[in-house]
Amino acid sequence: MIDAIAQILSAAWQVLCASAPYMLFGLLMSGVLKALIPDEFVARHLGGNSSGAVVKASLLGVPLPLCSCGVVPVAASLRKQGAGPGPTTAFLISTPETGVDSIAVTWALLDPIMTLVRPLAAFITATIAGLLVNLLPVKAATCAAPPGSCDCKICTRTTESVPRPLWRALADGIGYAFGPLLRDIGPYLLAGIAIAGLITWLIPDGFIERHLGSGILPMLIMLAAGIPLYVCASASTPIVAALALKGLSPGAALVFLMAGPATNAATITVVAGMLGKRVAAVYVSVIALCALVMGMAVNALYAWLAIDISSWAAGARHSEDSLLPVVAAVVLLVLILRALARRS
């Protein structure tokens, strides 16, 4: 028993060391984005219900550092400030599915192809969903965050603000990234790393490929697991990396990376209350269908590039020859504990 726990902890520590430098870099870039893209800019460009606003919402959501819970009050605020249902839906999908932090971790644990495919898939899915929602009757703007799911005080804020010096904006943005943002995603990231360690110890190499194959079945399993589960984009990456080393296909991995962060019971409830049940149905259906279609397309892409299914995520195996990953892992752990200790 002790030996098993030691092996799980060792595997989890290796994943943490591999991802920590990129996670810290991603958080830093998240703070810079927060400073350079103010909330007023986002609200101004998502107004109306045009196709252009949907595309803008999808593009703006891709790099923004918000998880599926954190994006809810922001989307509610944008809706209240005049954003149409289509752009709001697009923003709700593209934002939690990816972000500069999760893109950095994807590069560390998976491979360059998935690093490019993941934000592209988020943009396409969000745009399709937003355009379809535009065809539905408009529902009046409301704020419908379920009790205890998120802090919705942001919904009552005003968009008027006093211009700040760039240095002050950067300081506030970085403070947000290593404070509230890290407090929100840190526990889930650590949980994802722990699950990755458990998977590494529990499942033999190649097990998924041998017993489930690389077709539609693993994708459906990942979809069924991802839709109700709350897992942020960064936390889903180490889980997928561990499963990939056990034979999970790139397509099935992408399905989980798309469905897990963007859908969970709380978010679906919020979408239904804020935009209507028909929009919620479109929201879930488009994510599910796009995830499956893009999953099959990604498997075809890897096959065309002649990348072996059992080695496509070889980037998840990192050595600890350098001291940098260990130092970064310790720093990340300290920052997460510090952010949690400051929870008000």
pLDDT band, residue 117 (cuts 50/70/90): very high
Percent of the chain clearing pLDDT 70 (strictly above): 76
pLDDT at 155 over 60: no
| Closest to 258 in 3D by CA, of 282, 217, 304, 289 | 289
What pTM was computed for the model?
A: 0.72
Q: Give me the residue spans of the domains in the chain.
A: 2-341
More confident residue, 316 or 254: 254
Provide, for the chain, the percentages of residues in helix, strand and coil under a 3-state DSSP scheme, each rounded to the nearest 5.
Answer: 75, 0, 25
The C-alpha atoms of residue 100 and residue 94 are separated, in whole angstroms, by: 12
List the structure tokens of 93. Answer: 């999908």
User: Mean pLDDT, to the nearest integer, of 155-173?
Assistant: 65
**Does 2 have pLDDT greater than 70?**
yes
In angstroms, the CA 303 to CA 244 distance is 15
In the chain, what is the greatest distance between 2 CA atoms, to the nearest angstrom?
A: 60
End-to-end Cα spacing for the chain = 38
- Give the least confident one: 105-109, 230-234, 325-329: 230-234
- Alpha-carbon gap, residue 77 to 156, rounded angstroms: 7
Is the pLDDT assigned to residue 21 strictly greater than 90?
no
**pLDDT number for residue 146:** 46
pLDDT of residue 246: 80
pLDDT tens figures, 183-223: 877 887 788 788 877 877 777 766 666 666 667 888 998 88
Structure-block tokens of residue 35: 């400073």
pLDDT at 150: 47
Instruction: Return the residue matching tokens 């499963």.
Output: 243
> What's the one-letter identity of residue 116?
L
Mean pLDDT on 257-262: 86
Q: How far apart are CA 83 and CA 45, in angstroms?
A: 8
* Predicted confidence (pLDDT) per residue in 34-45, tens digit: 777 666 666 666
Going by C-alpha positions, the residue among 342, 66, 12 that lies closest to residue 334 is 342
pLDDT value at 235 more than 50: yes
**pLDDT of res. 108:** 82
pLDDT at 230 over 70: no
What distance in Å separates the CA atoms of residue 141 and residue 163, rounded to the nearest whole number? 28
pLDDT band of residue 144 (cuts 50, 70, 90) is very low
Dihedral sign, Cα of residue 286, residue 291, residue 292, residue 296: positive
pLDDT at residue 145, as a whole number: 46
